[in-house]
Structure 1
């Protein structure tokens, strides 16, 4: 299984920016970090999910 580091970085940036706009998670740096981690997790899981679904 290979990981596309570009996709991981892309999702981390997108989720981080979007989470920075969500006021319910505390300060902007915390929201940015949470969004980045969620993006990394989502991008890392994507190849496995695609493999399970046979895509």
Structure 2
């Protein structure tokens, strides 16, 4: 796993774990986690392209 991917997902998971206890119920947390994961996986290629340009 390359460092950009590792750092990106560490930041995403860290932020999600900070706010997850505020969501009521396991199903809501699971849905939010899945949504955040999909968004993170979708945006990572664009972020990597932007970083490669510098």
Which interval holds the TM-score relative to the shorter structure? 0.5 to 0.7
CA distance in 1, matches of 2:23, 2:40: 19
CA distance in 2, matches of 1:38, 1:25: 14
Unaligned residue ranges in structure 1 (runs of 5+): 1-10
RMSD of Structure 2 on Structure 1 (CA): 2.3
Unaligned residue ranges in structure 2 (runs of 5+): 1-8
Residues paired across the two proteins, number:
38
Moved over 6 A (4+): none
What is the correspondence of 1:38-49 to structure 2 with a 5 Å cutoff? 38-49=36-47
Give 1:54's aligned residue: 52
Structure with the higher fraction of residues in helix conformation: 2
Q: Which has the higher contact order (CA 8 A, sep 6+)?
A: 2
